[in-house]
A and B are shown apart, each in its own frame.
Chain A
């Protein structure tokens, strides 16, 4: 099975700063990757699919990039409402729709 490793597991940054979360696949998965945001006590929300396609309604400060094994989620100009745990998810195979372990983002 392809494993998905997210890092860092947590980070703290100031409002207005840019942060980057990395998701690494143990084998190449093309661009078959999605990102989700889960705010505390809330339901996961789709941010990005196909590695870089922004879901409708998601603020443009969120962006995704990468292909193969290395992917990044970037939040430019971090806002207080971005406090959440972010998950990547690979979907290159019917044999396992695997999520990364999550990255918890807090405001400094």
Chain B
């Protein structure tokens, strides 16, 4: 069974940092891209960041560019999201998701998703 388990969420003051982790199992982790998607309380879904299979290509939403950094360790079947300069608007449930390619170099859809880890930045 394909499984993704996030960790590292918590309460952090504005301007602070947090590092999220996501451990994958049940599939060949190094064969897939991975992404982080967040959902603010009671709101919709927002793609945050993605990384290709070997970490050689990354992407970020404009809202987090320059503050967040995605990385991965295929030896540990894990992907990470380093979040710096956190703001109240970063408060959300952060999901890790396996990412499929729609075409060569074109990130596609997400399946499956982890259970999420909650990040709270009080205003």
Contacts and interface: CB of A to CB of B under 8 A. Distances in A.
Interface of A: 32, 34, 36, 38, 43-46, 49-50, 55, 87, 89, 91-102
Contacts, number: 67
Interface string B93-123: 0010000101001111111111110000000
23 contacts: A32-B102, A32-B106, A38-B45, A43-B95, A43-B113, A43-B116, A44-B95, A45-B113, A46-B110, A50-B102, A87-B45, A89-B47, A91-B107, A93-B106, A94-B59, A94-B106, A97-B35, A97-B47, A97-B50, A98-B47, A99-B46, A99-B47, A102-B45
Contacts of A92: 102, 106
A91 B44 contact: no
B11 interface: no
Nearest to B48: A97
B79 to A, nearest CB: 16
Interface residues of B, number: 24
Given A44-B45, A96-B61, A91 B106 contact: yes
A84 B47 CA distance: 20
Nearest to A35: B109
Contacts of B100: 49
B95 to A, nearest CB: 7
Contacts of B111: 45-46, 55
Nearest to B116: A43
Given A43-B114, A49-B108, A101 B50 contact: no
A32 B108 contact: yes
B45 A94 contact: no
